[in-house]
Amino acid sequence: MENYQLNSIYHGFRLIHTEEVADVGSTAFLYEHVKSGARLLFLKNEDDNKVFSISFRTPPEDNTGVFHILEHSVLCGSDKYPVKEPFVELLKGSLSTFLNAFTFSDKTMYPLASKNDKDFQNLIDVYLDAVFHPNIYKHKEILEQEGWHFELNDTKDEINLKGVVYNEMKGAFSSPEGLLMRANQNSLFPDTAYGFESGGDPLYIPDLTYEHFIDSHKKYYSPANSYIYLYGNLDIDEKLAYLDKDYLSSYDRIDVDSAISPQAPIGRQETVRSYPILPGEDDKDKTYLSLNYAVSESTNPETYLAFDILDYLLLDSPAAPLKKAILDAGIGNDVFGSYDNSIRQPYFSVNVKNANESQKEALKKVVNDTLSQLVKKGIDKKQIEAAINVKEFQLREADYGSMPKGLIYSITVMDSWLYDGDPLTHLGFEKTLATIKQALTGNYFEALIEKYLLNSNHESLVIVKPSKTLAEEETNALKDKLAAFKQSLDPETLDQLVDQTKKLQERQTSEDRPEDLRKIPLLSLDDIDKKTEALPLSETNLDGIKTLYHELPTNKIAYLSLYFDTASVSEEQLPWLALLKELFGKIDTEKYGYEALVNEVNIQTGDIHFETNVISDKDSDDISATKFSVKAKILQDKLSGAFDLIHEILYNSKFNNKERIKAIVKEIKSRIEIAFNQNGQSVAVRRVGSYFSESAAYKERLRGLTFYHFIRDLDQNFEQRYNAAVEALQTLAKGLFSKDRLIISLTGDQDLFNAARAQFEKFGIGLDARATAPAQPVSFIPTHNEGLMTSSKIQYAAKGANFKKLGFDYTGQLLVLKQVLTLDYLWNKVRVMGGAYGCGVSAESSGNFIFWSYRDPNLRETLKIYDEASRFAASFKADPFTMTKYIIGTISNLDSPLTPSSKGELSDERYFAHVAEKDVQRIREEVLATKPADIQKFAELLKAVTDQNHVCVFGSESKIKENKDLFDEIFSAFDK
DSSP states along 238-306: HHHHHHHHHTGGG----------PPPPP-EEEEEEEEEE--TTS--TT-EEEEEEEE-S-TT-HHHHHH
Q: Under the phi-then-psi rule, with left for phi > 0, alpha for psi from -120 to 50, and beta for the rest, what region is 414?
A: alpha
| pLDDT of 402 | 86
Q: Under the phi-then-psi rule, with left for phi > 0, alpha for psi from -120 to 50, and beta for the rest, what region is 555?
A: left
Please state, in angstroms and rounded to a whole number, the distance separating the CA atoms of residues 292 and 346.
Answer: 10
Please state, in angstroms and rounded to a whole number, the distance separating the CA atoms of residues 548 and 541.
Answer: 9
Backbone phi, then psi, for 149, in 5-degree steps?
A: -160, 155
Is 74 in a helix, a strand, or coil? coil
Please state, in angstroms and rounded to a whole number, the distance separating the CA atoms of residues 356 and 803.
Answer: 49
8 Å CB contact between 568 and 774: yes
The packing angle between helices 880-894 and 812-820, to 10°, is 110
Please state, in angstroms and rounded to a whole number, the distance separating the CA atoms of residues 939 and 949.
Answer: 16
Please state, in angstroms and rounded to a whole number, the distance separating the CA atoms of residues 735 and 564.
Answer: 11
| pLDDT of 622 | 77
Helix and strand numbers (H, E) in the chain are: 35, 28
- Beta strands 50-57; 267-276: pairing state: unpaired
Q: Write the burial class of residue 290 (CB in 10 Å: 0-12 exposed, 13-18 middle, 19+ buried).
A: buried
- Of 687, 576, 564, 581, give the one whose Cα is nearest residue 625: 564
Domains of the chain with CATH codes: 9-149+202-260 (3.30.830.10), 267-400+415-467 (3.30.830.10), 538-765 (3.30.830.10), 786-972 (3.30.830.10)
Distances (CA, A) of 426 to 23, 391, 433: 10, 13, 11
Q: Let me know if 270 is a catalytic residue.
A: no
Catalytic residue among 144, 146, 151, 667: 146
Side chain identity, residue 292: N
Please state, in angstroms and rounded to a whole number, the distance separating the CA atoms of residues 495 and 502.
Answer: 11
| pLDDT of 536 | 97
Backbone phi, then psi, for 120, in 5-degree steps?
A: -55, -45
Backbone phi, then psi, for 140, in 5-degree steps?
A: -60, -25
| pLDDT of 776 | 66
Please state, in angstroms and rounded to a whole number, the distance separating the CA atoms of residues 861 and 170.
Answer: 19
Please state, in angstroms and rounded to a whole number, the distance separating the CA atoms of residues 72 and 315.
Answer: 36
Backbone phi, then psi, for 449, in 5-degree steps?
A: -60, -45
8 Å CB contact between 569 and 732: yes
Task: Kindly list the averaged pLDDT for each block of 10 residues, start to end, along the chain of length 976.
Answer: 84 97 97 98 98 99 98 98 96 96 98 97 98 98 97 95 95 92 97 97 97 98 99 98 98 96 96 94 94 98 97 96 97 96 98 97 98 97 96 93 94 98 96 95 97 98 96 92 94 96 96 95 93 95 92 95 94 96 97 96 96 89 89 95 96 96 96 94 96 93 96 97 97 92 96 91 69 62 86 96 96 98 97 95 95 97 98 97 97 94 97 95 98 98 97 96 96 88
Question: Running DSSP on this structure, what letter comes out for residue 158?
Answer: P
Q: Let me know if 694 is a catalytic residue.
A: no
| pLDDT of 544 | 85
- Of 231, 198, 193, give the one whose Cα is nearest residue 53: 231
Rounded to 5°, the CA angle 835-837-840 comes to 105
Instruction: Give the HSE-up count for residue 504: Cα atoms under 13 Å, Cβ half-sphere.
Output: 25
Backbone phi, then psi, for 460, in 5-degree steps?
A: -145, 155
8 Å CB contact between 739 and 769: yes
Please state, in angstroms and rounded to a whole number, the distance separating the CA atoms of residues 438 and 444.
Answer: 6
| pLDDT of 623 | 84
* Residue 516, H or E segment: helix 514-517
| pLDDT of 764 | 74
Side chain identity, residue 23: D
| pLDDT of 2 | 61
Terminal CA-to-CA distance of the chain, rounded, Å?
A: 65
Backbone phi, then psi, for 378, in 5-degree steps?
A: 90, 140
Q: From the CB of residue 320, how many other CB atoms can be counted at a distance below 10 Å?
A: 23
